[in-house]
Amino acid sequence: MGWPVGHSLSPRLHGYWLAEHGIDGAYVPLPVRPEQFERAFRALPVLGFRGANVTLPHKEAALALADSASPEARRIGAANTLVVDGQGRIEARNADAFGFIENLKEGAPFWRAKDCPAVVVGAGGASRALLVALADAGVPEIRLVNRNASRAEGLATSLGGPIEVVDWEDRARALENAGLLVNATTQGMVGQPPLDLALDRLPPEAVVNDIVYVPLETPLLAAARRRGNPVVDGLGMLLHQARLGFAAWFGIEPKVTPALRTYVLRQP
């Protein structure tokens, strides 16, 4: 459920798993305008849905409308996964933090959360889940960089933990001795300008991750790769977060495999 939602790769992803496990079901895109979201949300149990994923701009509204919510969804302040129980009640969950960490584990298995500071660029909705994930993983210092400093300060205050807000003008210096750099903005996405961040001060062994996956290699990842930094693209976060929803809806823990990545990326 999103607006717009036609670009989503989730129908291909879940369709692959449904076919792989022989499940008689369908995962369909539901384009829902913001003013119609509550009506669509309430209709899910009536229409026989086991659940749904929620993307922009509905994540906060989904949390507010749900009958119950997981502790992680409440902490992040948004939902991306809905689970409908046998009585028609809807539980809001958030699998983004899980997907983010699992993607890092897969793409950079040598990365150790407790070894070095992490730098997160962006203080939007996606950033909340990433900050929670990094804090829970044990990162000793999280440097949050955002053009709007007051938004970043508000985010750091609401989440607590080892988050230090860095002024946009000091973003290059924030990279010193960092072990991880994450772009949590839309900068670098198709149709958007690249992230304005020079990597000169980033240690060569630091992992660079971009949650954008269209294109798969953003200008940030390309620049990091040229200087020898290990890079992790954003597709894995989408794939791994989907595991929790599929397991909740169908009782089967699906696997993320190279064949799945290839299928999801291939044009239908």
Q: pLDDT, tens digit, for every residue of 217-263?
A: 999 999 999 999 999 999 999 999 999 999 999 999 999 999 999 99
Instruction: List strands edge to edge, sheet with 180-183.
Output: 163-166, 142-145, 118-121, 180-183, 207-210, 231-232
The torsion angle over the Cα atoms of residues 8, 11, 17 and 18, rounded to 10 degrees, is 170
Asked if residue 4 is part of any domain, the answer here is no
How many distinct structural domains can be found in the chain?
Answer: 2
Please tell me whether residues 203 and 145 are part of one structural domain: yes
The answer to whether residue 168 scores a pLDDT higher than 80 is yes
Asked if residue 257 is part of any domain, the answer here is yes
Please tell me whether residues 118 and 173 are part of one structural domain: yes
Instruction: For 149-267, list the strands marked E by DSSP.
Output: 163-166, 180-183, 207-210, 231-232
Per-residue pLDDT, 268 = 64
Per-residue pLDDT band for 15 (boundaries 50, 70, 90) equals very high
Residue in 100, 140, 96 with CA at minimum distance from that of residue 119: 140
Q: Averaged over 4-20, what is the pLDDT?
A: 95
What is the model's pTM? Answer: 0.95
Please tell me whether residues 67 and 43 are part of one structural domain: yes
Please tell me whether residues 117 and 224 are part of one structural domain: yes
- Residue set of the binding site for shikimate: 8-10, 55, 80, 96, 213, 241
For 81-109, the pLDDT digits (tens) are 999 999 999 999 999 999 999 999 999 99
The range of the structural domain enclosing residue 64 comes to 9-96+236-265
3-state secondary structure of 249: helix
Asked if residue 170 is part of any domain, the answer here is yes
Here the CATH number for the domain that contains residue 186 is 3.40.50.720
Among 15-19, 47-51, 117-121, 188-192, which stretch is predicted with the lowest mean pLDDT?
188-192
Instruction: Please provide the size of the chain in residues.
Output: 268
Q: What are the catalytic residues?
A: 59
Please tell me whether residues 225 and 240 are part of one structural domain: no
Per-residue pLDDT band for 128 (boundaries 50, 70, 90) equals very high
Please tell me whether residues 247 and 170 are part of one structural domain: no
Q: Are 100 and 133 in contact (CB under 8 A)?
A: yes
Please tell me whether residues 151 and 214 are part of one structural domain: yes
Instruction: For the chain, list the strands marked E by DSSP.
Output: 51-53, 68-69, 81-84, 90-93, 118-121, 142-145, 163-166, 180-183, 207-210, 231-232
For 57-84, the pLDDT digits (tens) are 999 999 999 999 999 999 999 999 999 9
Query: DSSP letters along 11-34, please?
Result: HHHHHHHHHHTT--------B--G
Instruction: List strands edge to edge, sheet with 51-53.
Output: 51-53, 81-84, 90-93, 68-69
Please tell me whether residues 57 and 34 are part of one structural domain: yes
Please tell me whether residues 25 and 88 are part of one structural domain: yes
Asked if residue 120 is part of any domain, the answer here is yes
Q: How many angstroms separate the most distant Cα atoms in the chain?
A: 56
Q: Averaged over 165-169, what is the pLDDT?
A: 97
How many whole angstroms separate alpha carbon 6 and alpha carbon 15? Answer: 15
- Residue set of the binding site: 8-10, 55, 80, 96, 122-126, 211, 213, 234, 241
Asked if residue 2 is part of any domain, the answer here is no
Per-residue pLDDT band for 7 (boundaries 50, 70, 90) equals confident
Give one word for 77, left, alpha or beta, with left for phi > 0 and alpha for psi -120 to 50.
Answer: left
For 184-203, the pLDDT digits (tens) are 999 999 999 999 999 999 99
Asked if residue 152 is part of any domain, the answer here is yes
- Residue set of the binding site for NADP(+): 122-126, 211, 234
Please tell me whether residues 118 and 222 are part of one structural domain: yes
- What DSSP state is assigned to residue 7? T
Q: What is the CA radius of gyration of the chain?
A: 18
Please tell me whether residues 216 and 157 are part of one structural domain: yes
Per-residue pLDDT, 267 = 67
Question: Is the peptide bond between 215 and the residue preceding it cis, with omega within 30 degrees of 0?
Answer: yes
Please tell me whether residues 190 and 123 are part of one structural domain: yes
